[in-house]
């Protein structure tokens, strides 16, 4: 981080070396302080927060590179040796954005390969995921610098094809996880209600469902009032389709046939999907260009700069959070999840005996514990407790001794896809003539249509999750 802060001083050759060294030391100290603070949390949580912060910083840096000020500073730092161009023409940081995000993507791709097969923090490679933050930050910044020596023709191909495909895949994964979250939330509340007959959980489930529906219809009314005037056919169609599909999906979720095959389905899940898809639609119409006078927010010049800055930061925070959640939800994405303890053979479970002779006293204890867990006499966490007792020298805050909380390689692959989404969102169909001091994030028809279609796809995924048990009863145990 210190090396990044020291870049402006490179323009002063006489002081550049000392200042760079000083800033780098400060950056290392800051990184150490941050990681020490993260030590208050469990190891896996601190790690996820740290990677999310790196993605957030990288995204904001990419956004800043769209400003004319940043481009001029970058060219000045290289003594006008480097000119930011797009296909041989002067442009507004398009290539610079892809260079920076490619650097972070490469960083995550390397980590994904190095961490293949890591299943617990006892694996020596786990330290690459949870530690070495100073060297990792330096490596990330070195990749950023290195990308500026790669020919721009490579990034023209990368940005127009590879990054675009990765961005679409990232969006699809996010929608799948949103639907999974809706089902998980409703089922968790129902479990609490059934097991404890809790009025608080019943009230929370009903209140949240009603609240999300009220908010959805309120956003639809606001959109009709402010963004669906005469001549705004795109907005009118998007808002109306969202309203119709919202009602259809809600009806399907409480249909008797759906309830017969999936009793836990209902309006609670539909409400969450509805408010998210309505939000996507509202975000789409409120961020489209104003060439047809359909977006009054663009004409609010008094708050234009503030709204652009706040909107960009909120967008980057949302991406960082969504990416971190997506990268750690292994079950929804098809992985086995955590606590994958070794299983005994069925024959061994039946007669309750261990057939293989353990070679040490510790192995005898482990075998006995596994047999007790398989028979139901002890909870699975007893295996972790045994590891804690036998590894007194380890960090007491390490929550991944028994097994990792998430798939490390999958985590980094999703972060790699997130960098392609950030780069695509910032650069797709940008209009240099309409930019001021700050470039608005996502204010293009392309971005608006991506959000509108994403809402439709989300509705489709949720509908399929309701209909699938009816269409494929054998696969779902009916």
Q: State pLDDT tens for residues 289-311.
A: 767 778 776 665 544 555 556 65
Nearest to 325 by CA among 160, 164, 177, 439: 177
What does the buried/exposed string (b/e) look like for 42-65 if buried means 16 or more CB atoms within 10 Å of the residue's CB? bbbebbbbbbbebbbbbbbbbbbb
- Paired tokens of 182: 């809706």
pLDDT tens-place values along the chain, 478 residues long: 344 333 333 333 333 333 333 444 444 444 444 444 444 345 677 888 889 889 989 988 888 887 777 667 766 666 655 555 554 444 557 788 899 999 999 999 999 999 998 888 788 888 888 888 999 999 999 999 899 888 888 988 888 889 888 988 888 888 888 888 888 888 888 888 888 877 888 899 899 999 999 999 999 999 999 888 888 889 999 999 999 999 999 999 999 999 888 888 889 899 999 999 998 898 888 877 767 778 776 665 544 555 556 656 666 676 777 777 766 665 444 444 444 444 444 444 444 444 455 445 556 666 777 777 676 666 665 555 555 444 444 455 666 677 787 888 888 998 999 899 888 888 775 554 444 455 555 567 888 888 899 999 999 999 999 999 888 887 776 5
Q: Are 16 and 9 in contact (CB under 8 A)?
A: yes
- Paired tokens of 150: 């790669």
Q: Are 135 and 414 in contact (CB under 8 A)?
A: no
C-beta neighbour count of 164 within 10 angstroms: 17
Measured CA to CA, the distance from residue 219 to residue 363 in angstroms comes to: 61
- The pTM score is 0.69
Q: Are 177 and 326 in contact (CB under 8 A)?
A: yes
CA angle 172/178/183 to nearest 5° reads 130
- Paired tokens of 127: 């330290």
- Paired tokens of 207: 């209140």
Identify the bridge partners of residue 89 per DSSP, sorted by sequence position.
Answer: 86
Nearest to 476 by CA among 263, 262, 265, 269: 262
Measured CA to CA, the distance from residue 51 to residue 133 in angstroms comes to: 10
Q: Are 285 and 238 in contact (CB under 8 A)?
A: yes
Output the DSSP codes for 174-201. Answer: HHHHHHHHHHHHHHHHHHHHHHH--HHH
Strand 85-86 with 89-90, pairing: antiparallel
Residue 429, SS3? coil
Residue 90, SS3? strand
395 HSE (CA, 13 A, CB side): 16
Nearest to 252 by CA among 453, 462, 477, 456: 462
Residue 86, SS3? strand
Measured CA to CA, the distance from residue 175 to residue 185 in angstroms comes to: 15
Measured CA to CA, the distance from residue 420 to residue 265 in angstroms comes to: 34
Residue 420, SS3? helix
């Amino acid at each position: 981080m210190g090396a990044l802060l020291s870049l402006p001083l490179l323009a002063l050759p006489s002081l550049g070396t000392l200042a760079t060294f000083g800033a780098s030391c400060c950056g290392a100290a800051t990184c150490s302080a941050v990681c020490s603070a993260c030590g208050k949390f469990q190891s896996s949580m601190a790690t996820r927060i740290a990677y999310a912060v790196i993605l957030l910083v990288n995204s904001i840096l990419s956004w800043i590179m769209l400003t004319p000020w940043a481009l001029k500073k970058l060219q000045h730092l290289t003594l006008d040796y480097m000119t930011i161009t797009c296909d041989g023409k002067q442009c507004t940081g398009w290539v610079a954005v892809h260079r920076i995000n490619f650097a972070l993507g490469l960083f995550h791709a390397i980590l994904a390969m190095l961490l293949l097969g890591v299943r617990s923090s006892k694996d020596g490679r786990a330290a690459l995921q949870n530690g070495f933050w100073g060297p990792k930050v330096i490596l990330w910044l070195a990749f950023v610098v290195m990308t500026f020596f790669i020919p721009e023709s490579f990034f023209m191909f990368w940005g127009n094809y590879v990054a675009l495909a990765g961005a679409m895949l990232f969006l699809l994964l996010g929608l799948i996880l949103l639907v999974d979250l809706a089902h998980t939330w409703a089922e968790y509340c129902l479990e609490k209600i059934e097991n404890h007959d809790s009025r608080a959980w019943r009230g929370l489930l009903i209140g949240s469902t009603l609240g999300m529906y009220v908010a959805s219809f309120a956003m639809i009314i606001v959109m009709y009032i402010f963004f669906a005037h005469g001549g705004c056919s795109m907005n009118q169609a998007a808002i109306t389709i969202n309203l119709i599909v919202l009602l259809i999906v809600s009806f399907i979720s409480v249909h008797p046939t759906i309830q017969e095959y999936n009793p836990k389905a209902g309006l609670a899940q539909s409400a969450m999907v509805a408010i998210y898809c309505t939000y996507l639609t509202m975000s789409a119409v409120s961020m489209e260009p104003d060439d047809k006078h359909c977006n009054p927010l663009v004409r609010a010049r008094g708050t234009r700069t503030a709204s652009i800055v706040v909107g960009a930061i909120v967008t980057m925070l949302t991406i960082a959070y969504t990416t971190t959640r997506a990268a750690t939800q292994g079950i929804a994405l098809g992985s086995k999840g955590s606590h994958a303890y070794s299983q005994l053979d069925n024959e061994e479970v039946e007669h309750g005996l261990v057939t293989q002779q353990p070679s040490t006293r510790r192995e005898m204890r482990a075998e006995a514990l596994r047999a007790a867990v398989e028979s139901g006499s002890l909870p699975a966490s007893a295996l972790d407790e045994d590891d804690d007792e036998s590894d007194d020298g380890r960090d007491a805050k390490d929550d991944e001794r028994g097994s990792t909380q998430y798939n490390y390689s999958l985590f980094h692959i999703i972060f790699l896809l997130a960098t392609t989404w950030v780069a695509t969102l910032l650069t797709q169909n940008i209009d240099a003539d309409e930019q001021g001091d700050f470039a608005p994030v996502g204010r293009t028809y392309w971005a608006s249509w991506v959000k509108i279609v994403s809402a439709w796809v989300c509705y489709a995924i949720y509908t399929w999750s309701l209909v699938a048990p009816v269409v494929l009863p054998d696969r779902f145990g009916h």
